[in-house]
Structure 1
């Protein structure tokens, strides 16, 4: 049996109380309750993460890479159940091969008014994955943590005119940014995977717009 590794148990404990950026703190009331599955597995080069690429033309987060997930439905027993259900519906990942190991603090996406609970999982028995909900999902990838940590894959994203910046990652033909990029960035630090990289003079800089990203400069 592929039991949960110690590094993930330690990561789950650290992530449970990780600081939440001010712009991602949930309001006292309101917001659509949702959950995503942050699923770690063991790949050929070490730990990896399951990511999806959303289809173009969706009303929210069109074309963006993301963790599998969505709204918590009244029939879901818990955020964990919702995250596992959504992952199965979107990617075909079999819930009985996944162990839930913890949660991150609830986060808020102001643009879409979602309150999101990231659920940490261990892929004890990996299953084949693919775009199952083809109306929403264009591609499914298992992305090595080593690729996400590689300084050469780092980009920066500017948000609006408030001077806020966020992390991005160019991996497997995708540009991971926004909510997903922020969670990945936090997990790299907590897991001890982050490598030194130069923010100053970085040429890969993008600006977030209502229609996605545009290069700056």
Structure 2
């Protein structure tokens, strides 16, 4: 029997307390010839609507996570599916505050309905020389969301976690750039391909939370 969504919240709190060692994955080294920029993303879970997942497996079918598609005109990670978030500003007293501020600016969500559960270890993203802190949160009182600034993002949507961990929707993404081939976990759900940083964070979180289901890593997709 999959755990209830309330159990998922407790799982996320426990994950924040013990943390994730990103070094267990592929080595990622930030450049030392440019300043490292600090950023944060809001990894927002909750029981977000009345539409259950198609899949039925290790997690509650009504548990969702909030994602958005970045604008194709951005200089970094253009067109990719991402968590709400962005670069930290001097007004942010920590990464959690920055992630929540950015999410409000990008999606219009009501921050009073969001419970920040903690902060994970910063994740190095060499392609843009950012150190990104994932901030798990729980949507205790969901509000309407939409892509506020289309120069930044073009759509905001919710994805059932059960569909993300469904082995039928798992794959490896291969991205070709400057003669190099980059591989990352990927999720193919609803005609969308989630890959790169977002997929790596989700994949590691699902594994550490005990939500992951064994899948075929021989399935390759192009983002």
Q: How many residues align?
A: 203
2:89 is matched with 73
Q: Is the 8 A contact 2:42 2:84 kept in 1?
A: yes
Aligned-residue CA RMSD (Å): 2.3
Residue 156 of structure 1 corresponds to which residue in structure 2? Answer: 172
1:57 aligns with 2:73: yes
Q: Counterpart of 2:133? A: 117
Residue 173 of structure 1, CA deviation: 3.1
In 1, distance between residues paired with 2:124 and 2:172?
20
Cα distance in 1 for residues equivalent to 2:118 and 2:40? 13
Q: Which sits farther off after the overlay, 100-109 or 41-50?
A: 41-50
Q: How does 1:1-217 map to 2 (within 5 A)?
A: 5-14=9-18, 16-20=19-23, 21-24=25-28, 30-43=35-48, 44=50, 45-158=61-174, 165-200=183-218, 202=219, 204-206=220-222, 213=223
What secondary structure does 1:122 align onto? strand
Deviating more after overlay: 28-37 vs 124-133: 28-37
Question: 1:25 & 1:94 partners in 2: Cα distance?
Answer: 36
- Which position in structure 2 is the counterpart of 1:210? none
Q: TM-score, normalised by structure 2?
A: 0.82
Shift of 1:32: 0.8
1:166–1:177 Cα contact (<8 Å) kept: yes
- Unpaired segments ≥5 residues, structure 2: 51-60
Query: Helix, strand or coil: the match of 2:118?
Result: strand
Q: Is the CA contact 2:31–2:129 (under 8 Å) kept in the aligned structure 1?
A: no
Moved more, 177-186 or 35-44: 35-44
| Higher normalized strand content (fraction of residues) | 1
- The CA distance in 2 between the partners of 1:26 and 1:122, in whole Å, is 30
